[in-house]
């Protein structure tokens, strides 16, 4: 369910719950991010995906999503995150894809189309429309907008 603002903590988004903590959540997977631009591209392919239907906590736009990888840091509103891994898709999100093909967002099969997991470095409030700063070693920050 979309919200206007959320408290991002080292344990994840305040109030968020995971069905199976063996595979979801924890410090290295506290937040799952996805790209609105990727979601829209998947919709153009005919997939019934929408914001939040693949379990992401934060949806961002206006960035080269394929350029975001483990080790990259992001500042979103009052929170700072470091990307830890690509999120492996599972069958529970299959209804978001044509023919239930949830592997459409597998990093191994379709690099640059995956959701991303992040660890929370600095807790804080994130609001819809907040600027997102991409912090990479030896590069200039890029500005983005958090949509959720």
* pLDDT in the model for residue 25: 65
Contact predicate 31/81, CB 8 Å: yes
**What pTM value is reported for the model?**
0.86
Out of 66-70, 84-88, 144-148, pick the least confident: 144-148
Which homologous superfamily does the CATH classification assign to the domain defined by 5-146?
Answer: PK beta-barrel domain-like (2.40.33.20)
Domain boundaries, the chain: 5-146
Contact predicate 32/87, CB 8 Å: yes
Q: Which two tokens stand for residue 66?
A: 């394929």
- C-alpha 116/C-alpha 109 separation (Å) is 15
pLDDT at 96 over 80: yes
* Cβ neighbours of 18 (radius 10 Å): 14
């Amino acid at each position: 369910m979309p919200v206007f603002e959320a408290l991002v903590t080292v344990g994840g988004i305040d109030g968020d719950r995971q069905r199976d903590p063996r595979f979801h959540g924890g410090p290295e997977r506290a937040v799952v991010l996805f790209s609105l631009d990727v979601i829209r591209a998947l919709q153009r392919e005919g997939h019934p995906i929408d914001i939040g239907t693949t379990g992401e906590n934060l949806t961002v736009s206006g960035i080269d999503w394929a350029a975001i990888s483990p080790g990259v840091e992001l500042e979103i509103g009052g929170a700072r995150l470091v990307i830890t891994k690509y999120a492996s898709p599972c069958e529970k999100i299959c209804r978001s894809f044509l023919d239930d093909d949830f592997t459409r967002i597998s990093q191994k099969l379709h690099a640059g189309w995956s959701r991303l997991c992040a660890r929370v470095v600095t807790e804080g409030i994130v609001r819809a429309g907040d600027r997102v700063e991409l912090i990479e070693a030896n590069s200039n920050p890029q500005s983005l907008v958090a949509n959720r």
